[in-house]
Amino acid sequence: MTDYTKKSYGRNAEIAAIFSLFKAGKDISQHGPRRLGKTFVLDRMVEQGKAHGFICLKVEIAGCTEPKMVFRRLCEAITTHRSVTTRTLSIITQRMGQIINPRGEQTGAWYQNLLSLDWETYLERLLAALHNDKKHQWAILIDELPIFLKALHDKGEDGIKQARDFMNLFSRLRSAQPNVRWLITGSIGIDPLARAGNYMGVLAKFYPYQLEPLSEPQSRDYLKDLAQLGLIQGRMAITDQEAQAVAEAVGWRAAYYLEAFAQNLPAHPETETEKVQRNINTAMEHLLKSHNKTTFGTWEEHIRKHHSEQQRGLSFRILNAIAPHETGLTLDGLHGALGLPTLNREALRQHLMLLIDEGFLYREPFDDEAAPFRFRITPLRLWWNQYRPQANA
């Protein structure tokens, strides 16, 4: 297993910063678009928690469709952790007057009892135990919280109320057990949900931590390591010149896209500018072939899954309009190109902000209203322009 603490691209500065915020008593909401490496950071925090004085539990809640399922996952993550003593658990469960033995051999019987368990109360007691733990400080890292909230919202009014109740309960648990630190993250925007569900107040208590792409030197180290570790098919080395050129060609330096690109480099490593460029062009061509749809298809799927029917059409139109333009389109240029008489400029601007938030687009400089909106990931732009996904496909 790679020891990421020794790697420039191992997100060590970010992880140290997050733990410092934890130590300052802050809970964190980590932001960043699809595939940036948010879950990677969580996994490293679990590995390295001890060195920073924390025990981190990671809980993935995509796939949960009821608050009860989330409580249950949290309970399971806590009760199965080796640092929670059997004694602690038995005190809690005895108090609850229920015969549960999460570590028992008879899993069948255990699950029978779990069905009738009051998960919310159980979680509250477990958190109290973590809060009162004299030996360890605990942190709970929740991955894909917004996907869960979205699943509730999709059920309609009742679901939105469920989401709000859940977030209010979460807030209450946080303040009742202040020694336990929390980090929430996810691949879709949580703010629009919080606005719709009226729980912005709960989110406001989290310190927003923005994860950034890798730096150029980090990207080069990462690419060269990949080859050296034998992780690039048919390649044992990537030259400095190639690593630099790959980072530039991808534009947005997330490990995921750097790797996807590198996997398509021709077999022979090159150092001369022209030959390097030829390798880059070949890799780009390969990457965009239809069999690579999985690499970029997540972005299309993201819109299909997570945008409302109303939003979806506009998202596809906007991206299809911008895709042919390497340097992007300004707000007015785009407004004209779309030619939708019912779409006002402000609504379009709002929608573009959503697409920026989700990582599709960016505007540079961001504060310049006249600056063009363009794709963040160059190969994604080219892929989009080639396949031109449609709302009603």
- Positions that interact with ligand ATP (CB under 6 A): 9, 11, 32, 34-40, 187, 222, 255-256
The answer for residues whose C-beta is within 8 angstroms of residue 330's C-beta and 6 or more apart is 370, 371, 372, 373
- CB 226 → ligand ATP: shortest distance, Å? 9
Which CB sits closer to Mg ion, 317 or 376?
Answer: 376
Which CB sits closer to ligand ATP, 101 or 298?
Answer: 298
CA pair distance 292, 273, nearest whole angstrom? 27
List the one residue out of 144, 133, 145, 169 whose CA is nearest residue 54. 133
Partner touching 36 among Mg ion, ligand ATP, none, CB below 5 to 8 Å by kind: ligand ATP
Residue 143 · residue 41 · CB < 8 Å: no
Partner touching 9 among ligand ATP, Mg ion, none, CB below 5 to 8 Å by kind: ligand ATP
CA pair distance 385, 195, nearest whole angstrom? 33
Name the token pair of 145. Answer: 């919280």
Partner touching 164 among Mg ion, ligand ATP, none, CB below 5 to 8 Å by kind: none
Which CB sits closer to ligand ATP, 110 or 256?
Answer: 256
Residue 29 · residue 205 · CB < 8 Å: no
Partner touching 255 among Mg ion, ligand ATP, none, CB below 5 to 8 Å by kind: ligand ATP
Q: Dump strand ranges (E) for the chain.
A: 28-31, 55-60, 138-143, 181-185, 207-210, 361-363, 373-375
Partner touching 88 among ligand ATP, Mg ion, none, CB below 5 to 8 Å by kind: none
CA pair distance 296, 227, nearest whole angstrom? 22
First to last CA, the chain: 42
- CB 142 → Mg ion: shortest distance, Å? 11
Which CB sits closer to Mg ion, 15 or 160?
Answer: 15
CA pair distance 125, 264, nearest whole angstrom? 52
C-beta nearest to Mg ion: residue: 39
- CB 38 → Mg ion: shortest distance, Å? 5
Residues that bind Mg ion (CB under 5 A): 38-39
> What is residue 199's DSSP assignment?
-
Which CB sits closer to ligand ATP, 93 or 295?
Answer: 295
Helices (H), 12-97: 12-23, 38-48, 67-79, 86-95
- CB 198 → ligand ATP: shortest distance, Å? 25
- CB 188 → ligand ATP: shortest distance, Å? 8
Partner touching 34 among Mg ion, ligand ATP, none, CB below 5 to 8 Å by kind: ligand ATP
Which CB sits closer to ligand ATP, 11 or 363?
Answer: 11
Preceding amide of 365 cis, omega within 30 = yes
The DSSP bridge pattern shows strands 28-31 and 181-185 to be parallel
- CB 134 → ligand ATP: shortest distance, Å? 33
Name the token pair of 154. Answer: 């999709």
CA pair distance 51, 201, nearest whole angstrom? 33
- CB 27 → Mg ion: shortest distance, Å? 19
- CB 4 → ligand ATP: shortest distance, Å? 7
CA pair distance 267, 128, nearest whole angstrom? 57
Partner touching 37 among Mg ion, ligand ATP, none, CB below 5 to 8 Å by kind: ligand ATP
Which CB sits closer to ligand ATP, 38 or 363?
Answer: 38
Which CB sits closer to Mg ion, 62 or 169?
Answer: 62
- CB 238 → ligand ATP: shortest distance, Å? 15
Which CB sits closer to ligand ATP, 187 or 295?
Answer: 187
Residue 31 phi, psi dihedral angles, 5° rounding: -110, 155
Partner touching 148 among Mg ion, ligand ATP, none, CB below 5 to 8 Å by kind: none
Partner touching 40 among ligand ATP, Mg ion, none, CB below 5 to 8 Å by kind: ligand ATP
CA pair distance 288, 234, nearest whole angstrom? 19
